[in-house]
């Protein structure tokens, strides 16, 4: 199966960098829906390949052998575009004055938690940093969370100010926990750009450069917030079960909503799941329509349980109209 440019430029770039290291499956674990899986799990389920091995998926990136990504035409393949030679991570150049944690990459916490977490989790838990921020620690948190672990530093910090999101008032901590919201709010014409320079990476831009917003249609203020969505990726802790869960789990279990959505509950479910917790509302709802994924017919519930597939599938007009 050849890798076509039309399958997504971002995926091709990730794959090209990955192919420089190996053409075999990696031991890395990744999310499929709410579960953490590995390449062996995918390999034992060939009937799921059409659903899991699509361009830009974690399975395709980490399991190129199982997903047949490496089965391209024999002989050299012309590059899509000239790219600079890769620099090994150990000697990668550091931009002066710029120091940031990776917002999206997760690492495995092999201590009492035994969960995959992101840098924002480690930054809020100094008791874990002494061990996990060692440059020799197997988690690689030292490189993934360079600022939290003290690998580098800069003078960029968020303020204690607040900004508007629809009809709600939010702060930089709220925004730092939601990488997907940063893409919408960290624009030069939004309050968050001024209030949260560290979270919005304002300090990383060359002098005089800013992120310009894409013009949006004017929406009449009819009462509800313009958008109201639960977090799709981040998790919150359910003390009764002693495990981390996502908002899609809470939405399907109304018996937990009253407790976890209560103001002051330490799980953070209320902040991460504002739509399920009725903190805000909008007029956007999924339909009962079905759409094709490979040879299978799927619905919006199936897609809601697989956040890693949404970025790719939601570009299809039939999926976007259905869900």
Per residue in 137-165, pLDDT (tens digit) is: 988 899 999 989 999 888 888 899 998 87
Count of Cβ atoms closer than 10 Å to residue 307 Cβ? 20
pLDDT per residue as tens digits for the range 209-254: 555 544 434 334 444 445 688 887 778 888 888 888 888 888 888 8
pLDDT tens digits, residue range 295-309?
Answer: 888 888 888 777 777
User: Does the pLDDT value for residue 133 go beyond 90?
Assistant: yes
Structure tokens at 303: 């897609």
Mean pLDDT of 38-59: 74
Rounded to two decimals, what is the model's pTM? 0.37
Give the pLDDT mean for 79-90.
40
Alpha helices, DSSP H, located in the chain: 9-19, 39-43, 49-52, 58-62, 119-123, 126-132, 141-144, 172-176, 179-185, 191-195, 247-251, 254-260, 269-272, 300-304, 307-313, 317-322
Reduced 3-state DSSP string for 243-279 = EEECHHHHHCCHHHHHHHCCCCCCCCHHHHCCCCCCC
Q: How far apart are CA 183 and CA 314, in angstroms?
A: 17
On the question of pLDDT at 207 being above 70, the answer is no
> What is the pLDDT, as a whole number, of residue 149?
94
**CA 190 from centroid of its chain's CA atoms:** 22
Higher pLDDT, 35 or 137: 137
Distance CA 108, CA 6 (A): 33
pLDDT one-digit tens code per residue, 242-296: 888 888 888 888 889 989 999 888 888 898 898 889 888 777 778 888 888 888 8
Share of the chain above pLDDT 90, in %: 7
- Any bridge partners for residue 78, and if so which? none
pLDDT at residue 83 greater than cutoff 60: no
Report the percent of the chain where pLDDT is more than 70: 74
User: Which position has the higher pLDDT, 84 or 232?
Assistant: 232
Give the position of tokens 């991460």.
272
């Amino acid at each position: 199966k050849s890798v076509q440019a039309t399958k997504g430029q971002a995926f091709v770039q990730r794959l090209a960098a990955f192919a420089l290291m190996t053409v075999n499956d990696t031991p890395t674990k990744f999310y499929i829906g709410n579960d953490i899986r590995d390449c062996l799990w995918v390999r034992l389920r060939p009937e799921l390949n059409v659903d899991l091995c699509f361009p830009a998926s974690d399975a395709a990136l980490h399991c190129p052998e199982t997903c047949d990504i490496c089965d391209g035409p024999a002989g050299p393949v012309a590059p899509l575009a000239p790219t600079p030679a890769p620099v090994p991570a150990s000697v990668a150049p550091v931009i002066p004055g710029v120091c940031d944690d990776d917002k999206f990459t997760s690492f495995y916490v092999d201590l009492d938690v035994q969960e995959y977490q992101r840098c924002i989790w480690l930054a809020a838990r100094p008791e874990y940093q002494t061990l996990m921020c060692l440059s020799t620690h197997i988690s690689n948190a030292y490189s993934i969370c360079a600022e939290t672990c003290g690998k580098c530093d800069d003078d960029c910090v968020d303020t204690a100010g607040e900004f508007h999101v629809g009809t709600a008032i939010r702060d930089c901590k709220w925004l730092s926990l939601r990488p997907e919201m940063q893409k919408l709010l960290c624009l030069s014409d939004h309050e968050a750009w001024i209030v949260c320079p560290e979270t919005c990476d304002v300090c990383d831009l060359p002098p005089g450069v800013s992120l310009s917003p894409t013009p949006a249609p004017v929406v009449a203020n009819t009462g509800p917030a313009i958008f109201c969505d639960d977090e799709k990726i981040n998790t919150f802790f359910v003390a009764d079960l002693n495990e981390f869960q996502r908002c899609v789990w809470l939405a399907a279990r109304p018996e937990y909503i009253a407790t976890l959505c209560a103001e002051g509950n330490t799980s953070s479910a209320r902040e991460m799941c504002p739509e399920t917790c009725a903190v805000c509302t909008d007029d956007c709802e999924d339909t009962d329509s079905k759409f094709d994924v490979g040879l299978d017919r799927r619905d919006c519930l199936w897609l809601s349980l697989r956040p890693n597939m949404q970025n790719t599938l939601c570009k299809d007009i039939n999926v976007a109209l259905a869900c």
